[in-house]
Structure 1
Amino acid sequence: MNKIKTWARNLKKYVYVLYFAYKDPRVPWYAKVFTACVVAYAFSPIDFIPDFIPVLGYLDDIIIVPLGIKLALKMIPNAVIKDCEEKAEELMVKGKPKNWLVGTLIIIFWGIILIWGSMAIFQYIK
């Protein structure tokens, strides 16, 4: 059980590392794009495979996110990773900051998608 907790903590740490690396000007643009996608997917409550589907639901959390993190880390220079690891450690000790504006924008975005999808389904049913 301790191995799983350590693995999950390291996974969380590296999501924060990627978050800080995305903002670093030393990271190439293609790595920033990929890193932003990995971080957004890791923090998003929406998954490709919903968690309520037995076994497959947690597959993305166990395989897709760690694989994305690993690929993103390979694209980022080692010096940047080292700097960002220090920032991530500090953030994990202090606790993550809350950005209510970004949270609100994400909720609005998914709300619009949900409404649009519902309207499309109702148009199709008619």
Structure 2
Amino acid sequence: MMEKLKSRARVLKRDAYALTIAARDPRVPWYAKVFLGLVIAHTFSPIDLIPDFVPVLGYLDDLIITPLGIALALKMIPPAVMEEARRQSEELLQQGKPVSRAGAILVIGLWLVVLTILVWLIVRAVNK
């Protein structure tokens, strides 16, 4: 059973990297690219929606939300595009962990925007 879980985790990891490749493909519809961006940002973000130290719910994010988002995103991408992206992803993973500076900047920027909005809302609520 443990080997089956490890295998499934490897497939999810490959598919997550494949989604980043597929998101750049012009054959993927715009609405799928938007959803892919959200899924990719959530999957590779170092900040969890629900922190892991919260009992039970902390791992809900990692065990349910991430795989569900990846599964939904996979259904939005044309099969030919996904096949090519998986092949490229597999090659990148064999060479070592892929690094995307643009992706890191995007995720950090997104979290800074969210943090700014939260601070603004709190300040606004306190000043009322």
TM-score (norm 1): 0.82
In structure 1, runs of 5+ residues without a counterpart are: none
SS of residue in 2 equivalent to 1:54: coil
Bigger mean CA deviation after superposition, 78-87 or 115-124: 115-124
**Deviant stretches of 4+, over 6 Å:** none
Alpha-carbon distance change, 69 to 104 in structure 1, aligned in 2, over 3 angstroms: closer
SS of residue in 2 equivalent to 1:98: coil
CA-to-aligned-CA distance 1:37-88 (integer Å, 9 cap, x gap): 1111000112221111111101111111111111111111111111111001
Q: 2:57 corresponds to which residue?
A: 56
Percentage identity across paired residues of the two chains: 52
Q: Quote the Cα distance in structure 2 between the aligned partners of 1:122 and 1:12.
A: 40
Q: 1:11 corresponds to which residue?
A: 12
SS of residue in 1 equivalent to 2:23: helix
Alpha-carbon distance change, 124 to 41 in structure 1, aligned in 2, over 3 angstroms: same
Shift of 1:12: 0.6
TM-score (norm 2): 0.81
Q: 1:103 corresponds to which residue?
A: 104
How many residue pairs match? The answer is: 126
Q: Quote the Cα distance in structure 2 between the aligned partners of 1:48 and 1:36.
A: 16
Tell me, yes or no, if the aligned pair for 2:18 and 2:85 is still in contact at 8 Å.
yes
Shift of 1:111: 5.1
1:94 equivalent to 2:95? Answer yes
Q: Quote the Cα distance in structure 2 between the aligned partners of 1:33 and 1:112.
A: 17
Q: 2:40 corresponds to which residue?
A: 39
Shift of 1:89: 0.6
Could you say what the CA RMSD is over the residues aligned between the two structures, in angstroms? 2.2
